[in-house]
Structure 1
């Protein structure tokens, strides 16, 4: 609901809200024995959420602030620097494709074409920086709202559906943004960008060539562009990664739970490859510029390459509840944070070299899995 105070005491609004949930529940089930208990559980959960999370009004304020912050702080210089990072990582991925032993020449050539055909979305669409009121007025001309929240929600849904139907017969606009600029956080330092953001960029590039992405060509057409032999070899390498992550375990309330390697294989492939792409791009950047980042006090004992991997690990540092851990294990296509680090570094020979690890020692796997 709209404001936090609504949850503080019983009111006509909360009564109407409970009644609404009750009517929806009746429409969804024939078993009414648990409806009241479920409604109480839902309301108690929302009360707890309301104490710790933004209300709708606060979310709207946050969105306004995010837009102003994004437009006010993202300079064109930052865009140029971001393009440099993306191009370096894209080139690293292309090098990995060229060096791969399992792809046939035709599939390899098309993969490289697709990598270079990917469009980069950095910061925000250009028209937002031009104070282009005409464009905004055109985009939102039909959005005429009133004081009814429900009515406004229906208006938005209707217009979204109308737009979706209209574009079915239109040529695909590959320059149209599908992600809001407020979903991007570009306030990191340049050094952090080259490592943590670099692995994320590499991760996303790799998704264009995983089990899902490989079904689409460079123009986004759903078409088979890998040969059967290449698909077979890809699946063999993919199975190695599935088997690896199937071995990971986590203990919750004295119960050992197994990680699902099949459920997470797409993201695991992207994690492993993204780390490699970022590292090779970082090496190339150091080689071309002849510079390395300055080290903070206390970190001088580590080499720049060691700090790269330390930074990568710290990116996934987190603390979550057992309940959320269980949700991740059962439902999420991403591995738990610790396994995103262990799984990626254990398959990378450069990690072994940088930390002088012997095969099978510590986190280093003897039989390493890799796609690219």
Structure 2
């Protein structure tokens, strides 16, 4: 579901055909999406260098770049599915049945526990190293902490302190950009708006 709004899906319309976005829309989208590059590069302890748009090979650039589409989709999909779950629960008008051993957890907490359990995995060091270089997905544990730490609903459910690792102030969200940036950019003429650097030069963007 979230892939409809990752850096590939955003280029397609509702019928799956390529659509042309305005320069303003592209610029604002990139501003939001850049956060995901920096977030996941931070997990790996690397920084994003400028991409020269010429170097061949699979998985070009940093870890955050290689996995950016999946990381955006994870967070976006989690937001959407949680909202749908909450609406469904309100229509039912009663709490969910409790699983044995989980009676002390709220429905919201169980939703996020279930999400995290989806990515539980046991891999050998050799396989983990291979996936690091050849998979467009982040490792399971990073998919969990990355998406959940971008979600205010998770922080509220588990009462994570503001500014903590799982409730950072600078959450990544493609639906919301920095208000000062938006005001500054939208007040400029199209010719004066800042152009995106080569860090997002893949696929002609």
Q: Structure 1: any 5+ residue segments left out of the alignment?
A: 1-204, 251-258
Distance 1:363 1:219 in 2: 37
| Other-structure match for 2:24 | 229
Distance 1:346 1:244 in 2: 10
| Other-structure match for 1:31 | none
Q: 1:242 aligns with which of 5, 13, 37?
A: 37
Q: 1:350 aligns with which of 142, 145, 153?
A: 153
Deviations, residues 199-252 of structure 1 (Å, cap 9, x unaligned): xxxxxx22122221222222222231x2211110111111111000001139xx
> Are 2:86 and 1:283 aligned?
yes
SS in 1 for 2:110: helix
Offset of residue 291 of structure 1: 2.8
Deviations, residues 82-116 of structure 1 (Å, cap 9, x unaligned): xxxxxxxxxxxxxxxxxxxxxxxxxxxxxxxxxxx
User: Contact 2:155/2:167 (CA < 8 Å) preserved in 1?
Assistant: yes
The TM-score with structure 1 as length reference comes to: 0.41
> Are 2:63 and 1:267 aligned?
no
Distance 1:355 1:271 in 2: 20
Distance 1:363 1:220 in 2: 35
Higher relative contact order (CA 8 A, sep 6+): 2
Q: How does 1:306-325 map to 2 (within 5 A)?
A: 306-325=109-128
Distance 1:298 1:308 in 2: 15
Distance 2:11 2:146 in 1: 25
Q: 1:338 aligns with which of 132, 135, 141?
A: 141
User: Contact 2:75/2:150 (CA < 8 Å) preserved in 1?
Assistant: yes
Deviations, residues 319-343 of structure 1 (Å, cap 9, x unaligned): 1111111122112110000000000
Q: Structure 2: any 5+ residue segments left out of the alignment?
A: 46-61, 176-205
| Other-structure match for 1:367 | 170
Distance 1:274 1:327 in 2: 27
Deviations, residues 244-269 of structure 1 (Å, cap 9, x unaligned): 0001139xxxxxxxx70011000000
- Superposed CA RMSD: 1.5
SS in 2 for 1:360: coil
Deviations, residues 118-170 of structure 1 (Å, cap 9, x unaligned): xxxxxxxxxxxxxxxxxxxxxxxxxxxxxxxxxxxxxxxxxxxxxxxxxxxxx
Distance 1:207 1:296 in 2: 31
SS in 2 for 1:242: helix
Distance 2:14 2:99 in 1: 43
Offset of residue 364 of structure 1: 2.0
Offset of residue 359 of structure 1: 1.7
User: Contact 2:44/2:63 (CA < 8 Å) preserved in 1?
Assistant: no
Offset of residue 362 of structure 1: 4.0
| Other-structure match for 1:217 | 13
SS in 2 for 1:262: helix
Greater percentage in helix: 1
| Other-structure match for 2:49 | none
